[in-house]
């Protein structure tokens, strides 16, 4: 069996078409959605992510304002910029690109972003509201992964879902979203005993670990939907947390890396920004 590819490029392009219409509708009412991205330091991966976000804004007609700050930026300088963007009525979304240089306190910085402008969904209030099943801004990567499952018509309610990884930005919100969709959810992590015993039960398996090709075919149930969130670089090439070539022969659905969840993350950032602008209107 060879799995059906869940193509992030195609799904993100479809979403962008809908977003263009929503941006147009806002502009007709005199409002242009605006996103501020704050990038501190010169991490090459972060620079690539930020430039991809700028390009997505340009494609959709969203005003983007990237603030590139030097590596020696102080906490006070960073916080002053967040407060400035909070107060700017032309800005509906604020994103602080992570990771920040080690001398900066990212939790403190993120907590200063107005929750309604927190388009990454990392603010304590949005994370708390998600855990209570309330309306909130949902973190872009898990939101994108869920969108892929739903777009492909993969049943979630009543299914066994296993998430590997418990980070605040991917694993935990992913588990909460699947729970909201009435899956039976298991969260695995680095201290899980006998990981494969859990993953082999999964109808939906989400890998958010950060270890290249960690999920092998023997860890996957025949006919599972496998969502690979990982982005790893091996010999200069990108690969996911899933051993794609072997697992695709066993799974029913699989996301590629690159061209999978990563594309959806940016599309969902745009979605969160447009939604924030719609709410502001």
The contact set with ligand NAD (CB under 6 A) reads 141, 164-167, 169-171, 188-190, 192, 195, 208-211, 229-232, 261-262, 265
Tokens of 245: 């070539």
d(CA 91, CA 94): 7
Tell me, yes or no, if 53 is annotated catalytic. Answer: yes
Q: Distance from CA of residue 106 to its chain's centroid?
A: 18
Q: Yes or no: say if 144 and 267 are a contact pair by the CB < 8 Å rule.
A: yes
Least gap, CB of 211 to ligand NAD (angstroms):
6
Q: How many CA atoms lie within 13 A of 129 on its CB side?
A: 15
Nearer to ligand NAD, 26 or 219 (CB): 219
- Catalytic residue (one of 118, 120, 241, 243): 120
Nearer to ligand NAD, 112 or 164 (CB): 164
Contacts (Cβ under 8 Å, ≥6 apart) of 40: 69, 70, 71, 73, 78, 96, 97, 100, 101, 104
Strand ranges inside the chain, DSSP E: 4-5, 34-40, 63-69, 93-96, 160-164, 184-188, 204-207, 225-228, 232-234, 237-239, 253-254
Least gap, CB of 242 to ligand NAD (angstroms):
11
Nearer to ligand NAD, 59 or 84 (CB): 59
d(CA 154, CA 224): 10
Least gap, CB of 262 to ligand NAD (angstroms):
4
Nearer to ligand NAD, 166 or 200 (CB): 166
- Catalytic residue (one of 53, 159, 248, 250): 53
Rg (alpha carbons) of the chain, rounded to whole number: 19
Least gap, CB of 241 to ligand NAD (angstroms):
6
Tell me, yes or no, if 159 is annotated catalytic. Answer: no
Tell me, yes or no, if 4 is annotated catalytic. Answer: no
Cβ-closest residue to ligand NAD?
167
Catalytic sites, residue numbers: 53, 97, 120
């Amino acid at each position: 069996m060879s799995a059906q590819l869940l193509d992030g490029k195609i799904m993100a392009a479809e979403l962008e078409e809908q977003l263009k219409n929503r941006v147009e509708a806002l502009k007709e009412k005199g409002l242009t959605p605006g996103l501020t991205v704050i990038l501190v330091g010169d991490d090459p991966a972060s620079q690539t992510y930020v430039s991809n976000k700028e390009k997505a804004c340009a494609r959709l007609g969203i005003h983007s304002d990237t603030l590139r700050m030097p590596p020696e930026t102080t906490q006070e300088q960073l916080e002053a910029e967040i407060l400035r963007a909070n107060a700017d009525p032309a800005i509906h979304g604020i994103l602080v690109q992570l990771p920040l240089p080690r001398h900066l306190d990212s939790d403190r910085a993120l907590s200063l972003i107005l929750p309604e402008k927190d388009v990454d969904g990392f603010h304590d209030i949005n994370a708390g509201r998600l855990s209570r099943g309330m309306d909130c801004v949902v973190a872009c990567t898990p939101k994108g992964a869920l969108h892929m499952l739903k777009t492909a018509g993969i049943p979630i309610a009543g299914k066994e879902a296993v998430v590997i990884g418990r980070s605040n930005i991917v694993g935990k919100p992913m588990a909460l979203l699947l729970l909201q969709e009435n899956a039976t959810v298991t969260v695995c992590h680095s201290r899980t005993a006998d990981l494969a015993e859990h993953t082999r039960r999964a109808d939906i398996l989400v890998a958010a670990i950060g270890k290249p090709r960690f999920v092998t075919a023997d860890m996957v149930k025949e006919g599972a939907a496998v969502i690979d969130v990982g982005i790893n670089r091996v010999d200069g090439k990108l690969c996911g947390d899933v051993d794609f070539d072997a697992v695709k022969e066993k799974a029913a659905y699989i996301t590629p890396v690159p061209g999978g969840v990563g594309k959806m993350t940016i599309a969902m950032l745009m979605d969160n920004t447009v939604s924030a602008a719609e709410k502001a209107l």
